[in-house]
Structure 1
Amino acid sequence: MSEQAIGISLLLGSFLGLLFIRIPIALALGLSSVLTAVYLGMPLMMIGQKMANSMFSFTFLAVPFFILMGNLMTEGGIADRLIRFADVLVGRVRGGLAQGNVVASALIGGISGSAVADVASIGSFMIPAMRQRGYTSEYAVAVTVTSAVQGILIPPSQNMIYYALAAGGLPLTSLFIAGYVPGILLGVALMGLCWWMAVRHNHPRGESYDLRSGLAVMAQASIGLFTMVIIIGGILAGIFTATESAAVALVYALFVTLFVYRSMNAQQVRRVISGTLKSLSVVSAIIMTSSAFGFLLSYLQVPAMLSDGILGISSNPIIILLLLNLLLLALGLIMDMGVLILIVTPILLPIATSIGVDPIHFGIIMMLNLGIGLCTPPVGLSLMVGCGIGRVSIERTIGTMIPFYLVMIAVLMLVTFVPSISLGLGNLLK
Structure 2
Amino acid sequence: MIATLFVTFILLLACSFPIAVSQSFASMFLIFGDAPLSLESFTKAIMSGFSSFTLVAIPLFTFAGDIMGKGGISKRLINVAKLSLGNRTGGLGIVSIVACMIFAAISGTGSATVAAIGLIMIPEMLEAGYDRAYSASLVATAGTIGTIIPPSICMVVYAIAAGCSVTAMFTAGFPVGILVGAVLCIYCALSCRKRGYKPVYVKYTAKDWVKTIVEAIPSFLVPVIILGGIYGGIFTPTEAAAAGCVLGVIISVFVYKEVKLSDIPYMAFRSVIISAPVMFIIGVSTGFGRVLAITQMPSMIAEGILGITSNSVLLLILINLLLLLVGTFMETNAAIIILTPILLPIVTALGINPIHFGMIMILNLAIGFITPPLGANLFMASEISRVKFETLAKTIWPWIGAMIVVLIIITYIPQISLFLPQMMGLLG
Same fold (TM over 0.5): yes
Q: Is the 8 A contact 1:115 1:151 kept in 2?
A: yes
Q: Map of 1:10-89 to 2, 5 A cutoff?
A: 10-14=8-12, 16-19=13-16, 23-41=17-35, 42-89=37-84
Alignment partner of 1:6 out of 4, 7, 23: 4
Distance 2:83 2:212 in 1: 8
Match of 1:181 in 2: 175
CA distance in 2, matches of 1:212, 1:282: 48
Q: Secondary structure at the match of 1:216?
A: helix
Question: Which of 271, 276, 280 is 2:271 aligned to?
Answer: 276
Q: Please, which of 316, 336, 339 is the counterpart of residue 331 of structure 2?
A: 336
Structure 2 SS opposite 1:334: coil
Do structure 1's residue 143 and structure 2's residue 138 form an aligned pair?
yes
Instruction: Say if 1:110 and 1:155, in contact at 8 Å, map to a contact too.
Output: yes
1:390 shift after superposition: 1.9
The code of the aligned residue for 1:29 comes to: Q
Q: What SS is found at the alignment partner of 2:372?
A: coil
Shift of 1:96: 1.0
1:197 pairs with 2:212: no
**Stretch deviating more after TM superposition (394-403 or 339-348):** 394-403
TM-score (norm 1): 0.94
CA contact (8 A) 1:181 1:421 kept: yes
Aligned mates of 2:82, 2:413 — CA distance in 1: 32
Q: Are 1:153 and 2:148 an aligned pair? A: yes
What TM-score comes out, normalization by structure 2 length?
Answer: 0.94
For 1:199 and 1:157, locate their aligned partners in 2 and report how far apart those are by CA, in whole Å: 33
- Checking the alignment, whether the CA contact within 8 Å between 1:101 and 1:126 is kept in structure 2 is yes
Instruction: After TM superposition, give the deviation of residue 246 of structure 1 in Å.
Output: 2.0
Task: Provide the rounded CA distance (Å) in 2 between the counterparts of 1:176 and 1:392.
Answer: 34
Distance 1:201 1:185 in 2: 24
2:280 partner amino acid: A
Q: Which residue of 1 aligns with 2:413?
A: 418
Deviations 1:253-306 (A, max 9, x none): 221112111122221111211111212322221212222333333333331232
- Residue identity matched to 2:413: V
Deviation at 1:11, TM superposition (A): 2.7
Instruction: Tell me which of 344, 348, 358 is aligned to 1:349.
Output: 344
Aligned pairs, how many? 423
C-alpha separation between the residues in 1 aligned to 2:38 and 2:371?
Answer: 40
Give the partner amino acid of 2:172.
Answer: A
- The one-letter code matched in structure 2 to 1:205 is P
Contact between 1:108 and 1:118, CA under 8 Å: does it hold in 2? yes
SS at match of 2:234: coil
Matching residue within 389, 399, 404 for 1:409: 404
> 1:222-252 CA distances to partner (integer Å, 9 max, x unpaired)?
2112111112211222222222222222222
For residues 57 and 207 of structure 1, the distance between their equivalents in structure 2, rounded to whole angstroms, comes to 51
Is the 1:8–1:300 Cα contact (8 Å) retained in structure 2?
no
| Contact kept? 1:163, 1:363, Cα under 8 Å | yes
Alpha-carbon distance in structure 1 between the residues aligned to 2:385 and 2:292: 41
Asked if the contact 1:110–1:154 (Cα under 8 Å) also holds between the matched residues in 2, the reply is: yes
Q: Is structure 2 residue 308 aligned with structure 1 residue 324?
A: no
Distance 2:174 2:373 in 1: 29
**1:30 CA drift (Å):** 3.0
Q: Distance in 1 between matches of 2:255 and 2:108?
A: 22
Shift of 1:207: 5.2
**Could you report, residue by residue, the CA deviation over 1:109-167 in whole angstroms, capped at 9, with x for unpaired residues?**
11001011111222222223222221112111111111111111111001100001001
Quickly say closer, same or farther: Cα 1:132–1:32, change in 2 above 3 A: farther
Deviation at 1:44, TM superposition (A): 2.7
* Among candidates 115, 130, 139, match of residue 125 of structure 2: 130
1:92 and 1:207 in contact (8 A); partners too: yes
Consecutive unaligned residues of structure 1, counting only runs of 5 or more, are: none
Contact in 2 for aligned 1:18/1:28 (Cα 8 Å): no
- For residue 5 of structure 1, what is the amino acid of its counterpart? A
In 1: Cα distance, 2:340 partner to 2:376 partner: 21
Q: Which moved more, 1:185-194 or 1:219-228?
A: 219-228
Q: In the alignment, residue 12 of structure 1 is paired with which amino acid?
A: I
Shift of 1:182: 0.7
Q: Contact 1:361 / 1:423 at 8 angstroms: preserved in 2? A: yes
Instruction: Give the AA of the match of 1:152.
Output: T
2:370–2:396 Cα contact (<8 Å) kept: no
Q: Which amino acid aligns with 1:18?
A: C
Rounded to whole Å, the distance in 2 between the matches of 1:326 and 1:46 is: 35
After superposition, the CA RMSD in angstroms is 1.7
Instruction: Sort the Cα spacing of 1:206 and 1:338 in 2 relative to 1 into closer, same or farther, 3 A.
Output: farther
Give the gaps of 5 or more residues in structure 2. Answer: none
Determine whether 1:172 maps to 2:166: yes
Q: Is contact 2:364-2:407 (8 Å) kept?
A: yes
Identical columns (%): 37
